[in-house]
Structure 1
């Protein structure tokens, strides 16, 4: 772990500048609004180690795969989100000396991410080699109220000198991705211009023809008075700038306001981009920084009203959950069903910004409970719109008859991952997509989704499983061979318990949905059957697989096995590892990891988390005890599942330990890998750890279920959920449990196995509660 940030309930505070923390801070202090995002790079020049990052949602590049060999069905490209026009840049020179924190002496540095109001501020004093001391105060935000707008306020104050000041705000499109093959650049300039205080760049990608236009409007004030200083207009290839020249006296303060608009051809016709973008940046400048910031604060106030989790008695835990909620809301707003959630969001380039199974497995419940129902529905529609591509993907691998294999990694529905064991073997992702449909319908009661969209996807996935199984004559069972489960520390295994189990569950759920539609939506069922050329014998095959699926089990231990022959491995415990060898993936060879019993995440526990209602408490407890002791949690998705299951079996201390690990995974850099971006999708797991773990939230038989406990270190906590039109506030404290219905809609609720009717605007108080 690397703990260098101060604990605060609403802020992330970095006290002092240490260049060794810069990449880490660039990730943690990132900003976004679902439409665009920005790593926390400095505005001024910085010659130290940095990862430049400006990203536009949905704008990507089909880069050539990095592997040198090909197999039938192998992805043709690796999709990556592009580092686009750098709009942050503000170069500062004092008497010809460049402001560069890698070269200046830095004092009183402080960087603050204000999560409550949604802005990033930074202040410091820089001393140049000639002894001149300059105080800098910067503030910026990406607007949640105006998706295409960002704004910067950048002030410099002469502390002990008089001299010549140059301020150069610019737009730079000559950018590169860190992982670009052979230093390849992805953008060409279409147009660009610069005038007094304003300018624009219009760029297009070298493939796919995405166009992005970025415009800036700038204003200068000196000691609070607006100025029109002398300036040079600079116009180079993929670069425009204004260079302002000012005389500055001791104690003078000069402030630059830089207003940014960024638009893309995803939302506008190419011919409209320049005029639209320039108009938006001009309007932002007319409104002014303070008014835009007030809008930002109000927008975040509405977000926190629905999604905040309050914790009393543990500042580190409070900061952790709010940081995770903040980043999730910055990453995805649900307003565009063509967009999804990348594991790093807008905080870095790793994983290419593409969509993984993380969305369905971990993120969906967060948006179900904290946003309008349409947001979660759009996550499902993203996959529905890509069904044809999933069927094409399956066909390339030899599957037929409309079988669908959803991609492990995608931007547009096509598979774009380039590792064999993931691209071809992590087929469990199909199960997560089917489970997301169930999860959505179970939570919302929106059964019409099944009739309009859901069944078509379920049938296609079920057809894949029906073809992917093998029938073993020796076992007289169906088996699934050559897979990789969520635990990527074991590749190309046979009969991964989770994969086999989620395959069967998908078949069971598809049949259940068909029976439901037969009763409630017979016309929709008939339409689907005709559309997909459904044959009755398919049902017989599915039933046969359900009844004859093989599951690896160890009777002596009383556990489900990760996969066949898992116990042939030397059985060691994580507690026996030398701490300096962790994380394993940064100290052990891949061969050694694959041969060990240690798990990146426990597949069996993932299955028990999804299908908890199908197993008794003792079965869950035995499997949890066995696998938790062998799990190194080097998948960011792992701790949250362990937290929920630990709470389920009454191991509240372990649940709390796992919660802290997931909530502060990035803030404390647990896995030593946050420098290249935060773990956005696993942040939803932090929310799950509290709401499903500590709160015991479940939905069963159209009833809201709560079985909360209060962690020992906390005096209280509360969270809100949006459930079927009712906004419910759950507060757990030393005096008991209070449930407030903050809407007009009545709901049925069960607490500690006792049923209640909670009327609109009603309140329920329960004095008995569990304490961890």
Structure 2
């Protein structure tokens, strides 16, 4: 059974009733972020029950020494960890001397929390009866500002309901925190300074090894029934903690409210020795605006994001809630204005996967950011990889590759490989192809060729050199083969000739060769610079092409399909629907040995190639491969349902497409994989967007034009989405029997609909 406690709502996540067993799941689901920082939905007040404390700062990490049974040459020296940062949200509360703790109090009633996705805030309301008999109502609301990216704001109100009471509130900062996920139980932070002045405080801490300096700050004020009280907090201070205690007699039904601004200033953006003054400056900006004005700014900023990114679904509230939750979390994680940052698979919602960058960004996230923001955002994601090219060459060098061959890391914070599983570190080399595919995808979508001579060609050359060296000639096959790899299906390790890997290797080489010639003809100065830097010769390119032209692809004449790898048909081919439910998910029920010998596919593998290179194959070939491989797919990767939904829609298998869409859009809300307490699946959320836009909407780029083949699930009355295509914003409205297009812009745009060209003019609705 999937979980089903989140109330269905078009614009919000709502939980009603307090259940200690759901606290950690809700901490993930109700999490907040603003691109610069994020936090799980931990309670402000003390909570002694099971909880996963987590506050995170974009770009701040720690190199946790790799822990393995035995060391192999070329092994990554560390596993990067996104760090649980000093806690600024805490507010301890005592009522007549007894501390508020929902785990130990006598009774919790009327508990309700809401994540308002439309306006970007999180709220919690409850009534608690403490063991001393006092009953209080608590209402807290908080948000992470999009206007002031270093600031978060909390409004925390306490009302005694059955008697007057002495209430003490203690807003605090705490740098004595740990990660839930560590290899060696190491401390990651060293506290350098604890500072306070009036009702403001700051703690300066430094990460060990990486030496990021972070100033965590807060400023607090207290009001009674809306009137600000002139109270000065009593200092409660230790080496890693500072709290400001405010004490007040409060009559029955009167409301005592704490307003707290907090957040982080870091050495990524400020001088190390000026973090205290930087925190004072940002606090002053927040105070001068005030909580209410900052909240209004928040609503306005989210309104602008939704204006472009929203997808509406008519007639299916759970589907609507699912897509908006995915779009909301993607925007909380990454806003695209800093090319030093990227998108971790858990975003700011947990510590799994180290918070690092995977090939997910290039394969799944770039299309979302290109279409819902503008090309600058996607360009920043590509620039991130260009900036790491030297490290990719270093990574390849550690594995024995030479001459500027580049192997991009499977997992990285700074360009160095830091994944701690050998079969992924050494073998899952197909990630190199996704980096180049993203350049191609950006080029066909934006028409911006300038990226290729400026940055992209150097990346393509490094990757082509890697593929050339990684392939070897098989005299038995009279072809080039690629041995000992793991494809996108991580349930097969150390296989030979994974079709997807061989195919993308061949394509990368040909793509690089094509653009070397284009840059030579069109950008001679860039060409000279790049050739001088890379020392590339025509003879070397010809050697690459020899490998590409003679690449081996495993194929079964009997099934008329490309084989996932050489030995796929040697397996016992029992389809997933013949597996008992008790054995699922196999990654939690089976030994790894049994999984590796099985035919079961974690996520799209051959079908990933058919997704990327759809126009290289006929619809009949896609159908044949889909019908062969999907029945063996267990979809135990968050990245699996979206690709299958898109392909099912392309094949007119709408029941399957809809089922896969619901699974990808509600993966976390319904906790399909029973792991949401660890954090959300952020990068797969971009795949949910693709399931609607590319799946049901059939959006592609053909002949330099937007092309659509719209379909609609029976369960929906209609749906709409917007695409920013080359600075023209096209709104697509799909209903049963008709599709309409609306243009926001000054110039008419030609689009293809089911292969027919139509012109969409400004101000007019074009209906097909």
Deviation of 1:78 after TM superposition, in Å, equals 0.9
1:200-215 maps to which residues of 2 (within 5 A)?
A: 200-215=202-217
Deviation of 1:762 after TM superposition, in Å, equals 4.2
1:154 paired with 2:160, answer no
1:301-320 maps to which residues of 2 (within 5 A)?
A: 301-320=303-322
Provide the rounded CA distance (Å) in 1 between the counterparts of 2:691 and 2:13. Answer: 21
Say which SS state the counterpart of residue 288 (structure 2) adopts.
helix
Which of 345, 355, 358 is the matching residue for 2:360? 358
1:133 paired with 2:139, answer no
Provide the rounded CA distance (Å) in 1 between the counterparts of 2:737 and 2:609. Answer: 36
CA deviations on 1:113-162 (whole Å, 9 max, x unpaired) are 00000000010111112322111100000011110110000011111122
CA deviations on 1:171-195 (whole Å, 9 max, x unpaired) are 0011000112343211111211224
CA contact (8 A) 2:638 2:664 kept: yes
What RMSD over aligned residues (CA atoms) do the two structures have, in Å?
1.2
Provide the rounded CA distance (Å) in 1 between the counterparts of 2:763 and 2:378. Answer: 25
Q: Which residue of 1 aligns with 2:16?
A: 15
Provide the rounded CA distance (Å) in 1 between the counterparts of 2:748 and 2:379. Answer: 23
Deviation of 1:761 after TM superposition, in Å, equals 4.1
CA contact (8 A) 1:497 1:562 kept: yes
1:146-545 maps to which residues of 2 (within 5 A)?
A: 146-229=148-231, 231-545=233-547
CA contact (8 A) 1:194 1:241 kept: no
Say which SS state the counterpart of residue 629 (structure 1) adopts.
helix
Q: Which residue of 2 aligns with 1:769?
A: none
1:89 paired with 2:90, answer yes
Q: Which residue of 1 aligns with 2:52?
A: 51
CA contact (8 A) 1:732 1:738 kept: yes
CA contact (8 A) 2:199 2:232 kept: no
CA deviations on 1:43-97 (whole Å, 9 max, x unpaired) are 0111111111111100000111121421111111111111111011001111222
Q: Which residue of 1 aligns with 2:78?
A: 77
CA deviations on 1:383-438 (whole Å, 9 max, x unpaired) are 00000000011011110110000000100000111110010000000000000000
Deviation of 1:520 after TM superposition, in Å, equals 2.3
Deviation of 1:587 after TM superposition, in Å, equals 1.2
Provide the rounded CA distance (Å) in 2 between the counterparts of 1:698 and 1:735. Answer: 21
Say which SS state the counterpart of residue 675 (structure 1) adopts.
helix
CA deviations on 1:618-674 (whole Å, 9 max, x unpaired) are 110011111111111110000000011111111111111100000000000001111
Q: Which moved more, 1:204-213 or 1:290-299?
A: 204-213
CA contact (8 A) 1:33 1:144 kept: yes
Provide the rounded CA distance (Å) in 2 between the counterparts of 1:517 and 1:745. Answer: 30
Provide the rounded CA distance (Å) in 1 between the counterparts of 2:541 and 2:187. Answer: 51
Provide the rounded CA distance (Å) in 2 between the counterparts of 1:492 and 1:65. Answer: 21
CA contact (8 A) 1:195 1:233 kept: no
CA contact (8 A) 2:604 2:643 kept: no
Q: Which residue of 1 aligns with 2:703?
A: 701
Q: Which residue of 2 aligns with 1:671?
A: 673
Provide the rounded CA distance (Å) in 1 between the counterparts of 2:278 and 2:196. Answer: 16
Q: Which residue of 2 aligns with 1:31?
A: 32
Deviation of 1:536 after TM superposition, in Å, equals 1.5
CA contact (8 A) 2:198 2:232 kept: no
Say which SS state the counterpart of residue 632 (structure 2) adopts.
coil
Deviation of 1:526 after TM superposition, in Å, equals 3.1
Q: Which residue of 1 aligns with 2:4?
A: 3
CA contact (8 A) 1:39 1:348 kept: yes
Q: Which residue of 2 aligns with 1:744?
A: 746
Provide the rounded CA distance (Å) in 2 between the counterparts of 1:182 and 1:395. Answer: 28
CA contact (8 A) 2:8 2:318 kept: yes
1:546-625 maps to which residues of 2 (within 5 A)?
A: 546-625=548-627
Change (3 A) 1:363 1:213: same
In structure 2, the gaps of 5 or more residues are: none
CA contact (8 A) 1:64 1:77 kept: yes
TM-score, normalization by structure 2: 0.98
Deviation of 1:248 after TM superposition, in Å, equals 2.0
Question: In the comparison of the two structures, how many residue pairs are matched?
Answer: 766
CA deviations on 1:312-362 (whole Å, 9 max, x unpaired) are 000000000000000000100111101111000000000111000000010
CA contact (8 A) 2:583 2:589 kept: yes
Provide the rounded CA distance (Å) in 2 between the counterparts of 1:540 and 1:593. Answer: 41
Deviation of 1:230 after TM superposition, in Å, equals 6.3
TM-score, normalization by structure 1: 0.98
Provide the rounded CA distance (Å) in 2 between the counterparts of 1:168 and 1:346. Answer: 26
Provide the rounded CA distance (Å) in 1 between the counterparts of 2:517 and 2:651. Answer: 34
Provide the rounded CA distance (Å) in 1 between the counterparts of 2:556 and 2:50. Answer: 51
Q: Which residue of 2 aligns with 1:647?
A: 649
Q: Which moved more, 1:33-42 or 1:278-287?
A: 278-287
CA contact (8 A) 2:166 2:249 kept: yes
Q: Which moved more, 1:43-52 or 1:160-169?
A: 160-169
CA contact (8 A) 1:405 1:430 kept: yes
Provide the rounded CA distance (Å) in 2 between the counterparts of 1:258 and 1:183. Answer: 32
CA contact (8 A) 1:124 1:136 kept: yes
1:673-688 maps to which residues of 2 (within 5 A)?
A: 673-688=675-690
Provide the rounded CA distance (Å) in 2 between the counterparts of 1:451 and 1:633. Answer: 39
CA contact (8 A) 1:47 1:100 kept: yes
Provide the rounded CA distance (Å) in 2 between the counterparts of 1:689 and 1:614. Answer: 21
Provide the rounded CA distance (Å) in 2 between the counterparts of 1:5 and 1:660. Answer: 15
CA contact (8 A) 2:193 2:203 kept: yes
Say which SS state the counterpart of residue 181 (structure 1) adopts.
coil
Provide the rounded CA distance (Å) in 2 between the counterparts of 1:542 and 1:614. Answer: 21
Provide the rounded CA distance (Å) in 2 between the counterparts of 1:728 and 1:76. Answer: 48
Deviation of 1:735 after TM superposition, in Å, equals 5.4
Say which SS state the counterpart of residue 428 (structure 2) adopts.
coil
Say which SS state the counterpart of residue 709 (structure 1) adopts.
coil
CA contact (8 A) 2:199 2:233 kept: no
Provide the rounded CA distance (Å) in 2 between the counterparts of 1:547 and 1:31. Answer: 49
Provide the rounded CA distance (Å) in 2 between the counterparts of 1:91 and 1:176. Answer: 19
1:764 paired with 2:766, answer yes
CA contact (8 A) 2:120 2:302 kept: yes
CA contact (8 A) 1:230 1:245 kept: no
Q: Which moved more, 1:414-423 or 1:225-234?
A: 225-234
1:102 paired with 2:103, answer yes
CA deviations on 1:255-297 (whole Å, 9 max, x unpaired) are 1000113110000111221111122113212322111100000
Provide the rounded CA distance (Å) in 2 between the counterparts of 1:762 and 1:520. Answer: 39
Change (3 A) 1:593 1:726: same
In structure 1, the gaps of 5 or more residues are: 767-772
Provide the rounded CA distance (Å) in 2 between the counterparts of 1:47 and 1:580. Answer: 34
Deviation of 1:747 after TM superposition, in Å, equals 2.4
